[in-house]
Structure 1
């Protein structure tokens, strides 16, 4: 991760604001990141964080789908470990909106990318979310 990237810097500041209990400040920083995007990678990251700060599940889904659309156009490995998370986020929003067929498909897409996940707590959490989602949706 290129920490000199202005979009990533804004997202890091947003995550810090989020951790400090300042969600409104975080959202402003993520919106600034979105406005500052220079390529699909930047757009993917900024949209993913914006999705977390929506008041409506349909908007959360829209932003996560936007992040995913940009991620799949990135022509290198920077998003490989990010794809399972994006698919899970899309799946959870679709499931919340009652579209279980689409949600199952998104969980299946996430499952196809688990090989890119790290062997750590984050990877374990995502693998568990994928398994639980697939189990719930049959």
Structure 2
């Protein structure tokens, strides 16, 4: 992601606020990122972070679905490496709502995309999310 992009910068600020325990500031930065997003790619990035700060599982699912829909609308390689994580998030949201079958579908879809995630700690985290999701939705 381009660190000079305003949406990416705002989301980075929000993540820093999260790390410092300032959830309200994090939510405000993520909301601002959504508000200034100019295209589907930027909306996808902002929606990903907004999903993490929703008061209900239903709203979390709604923002994760928004993120996935925006990634689909981008339709190019900028989002290719996002799909494994996006499906883990969808699976987690459905699992929180007790919709185990739908959750499992997304964990399986995440596994199908894991090779698109660059190697490293983030890919390891996504793999762990997939494994945990598949284990808990048998």
Q: TM-score range by the shorter chain?
A: over 0.9
Match of 1:61 in 2: 61
TM-score under structure 1 normalisation? 0.95
Mapped to 2, the partners of 1:108 and 1:33 lie a distance apart of: 30
Runs of 4+ in 1 over 3 A off after TM superposition: none
TM-aligned CA deviation for residue 91 of structure 1: 0.3
Q: Distance in 1 between matches of 2:64 and 2:124?
A: 21
| Deviation of the 1:110 alpha carbon | 0.6
**Aligned ranges 1:67-82 → 2 under 5 Å:** 67-82=67-82
* Alignment-derived partner of residue 45 in structure 2: 45
Query: Which residue of the partner structure matches residue 17 of structure 2?
Result: 17
Q: Secondary structure at the residue paired with 1:81? A: helix
What are the superposed Cα offsets for residues 24-43 of structure 1, whole Å, 9 maximum, x if unpaired?
A: 01101110110111111101
The residue correspondences of 1:58-137 to structure 2 (distance < 5 A) are 58-137=58-137
| Distance of 1:18 and 1:136 partners within structure 2 | 27
| Equivalences, count | 138
Range 69-78 or range 43-52, more displaced:
69-78
TM-score by length of 2: 0.95
* Structure 1 residue ranges without an equivalent (≥5): none
* 1:51-83 Cα deviation digits (max 9, x unpaired): 111111111111011001001121321111111
